[in-house]
Structure 1
Amino acid sequence: MSFNHFDEQGQAIMVDVSGKEPTLRTARAQAVVRLRPETLQAILDGRMTKGDVLGVARLAGIAAAKKTPELIPLSHPLAIHHAAVEFATDPETGEIAVTATVRAFERTGVEMEAMVSASVAALTVYDMCKGSDKGITIGQVALLYKEGGKSGVYRREEER
């Protein structure tokens, strides 16, 4: 079974995973949002004019996990069984670590769903705060963990 995204003529194709057995797949990804510390404090105190920044970002991230095949052309539509977005905040530095976890019983992994989820949640934080803080940055989007399928477990070095 080939897992190439190109056919013999070099044309892009969706990988055929129909011959693979479904297994429980889990992936966790993270994106880091950097804001001014006073902006983060306003988020935590519920003083942002656009409302509950982290609550809206959480919902956006969960919805994004389910929309991944619409955004990434060759990804497979999956029946996602679990999607969650969590935030770790550091009021001193103004950083928000956005962590997305996605789980499905499928023939292919959910890494892209977790990466898209974390990214869209981070972008939502940016969108809801850009009026108060023009210097917001988003960075360090990374896969932290994955398991399931033949390749087994992957854990990013910082997670070990």
Structure 2
Amino acid sequence: MSATHDEAHTGPIKSPKQLLGTVILAFVLPVFAIIGLVMYVTAGNKPATGSANPELAVAQRIQKIGQVEVRDANRPLRAGEAVYQGQCAACHATGAAGAPKFGDVAAWAPRIQTGFEALVQSALKGKGAMAPQGGGDFNDLEIARGVAYMTQAAGAKFAEPAAPAAEGASAASGG
């Protein structure tokens, strides 16, 4: 019984040569693998990720986050018809997404009753399926001119807003 008992407590390593091999494989080999990985990661002459051209890679890393667009404040304001053709006609010519069609008196009548300023604010801020129109290719005054043009075609008597610079110049010449 004692012979079987001794065999139960022995491990797979039976000699000092096997012990030395196990120590090398278990501890020394992983240490060398880690050192090799660290040397590879810190090497400076690796190609840029996703780019064979180093100048392009540098340009991509230092690209601008935003962009400033300077518009010509002295350009002439576009008329209501031009604004309608450029911005509004895409939906209002066909009635897409429930937009009142250009010249449809019945569809425009309840909207016209809300007043010109309410219509302009709806155009600038968006209403229903219509996205906000402010801040695009047309300034707020030009959008108001487009609203006046569309409502005049439906029977409203809203005047097309004039340019503020023209009002200031006429007031200065009158005084």
TM-score normalised to the size of structure 2? Answer: 0.25
Flag the structure with more relative contact order, 1 or 2, with Cα contacts below 8 A and sequence separation at least 6.
Answer: 1
Question: Which entry has the higher C-alpha Rg, 1 or 2?
Answer: 2
Q: Which has the higher helix share?
A: 2
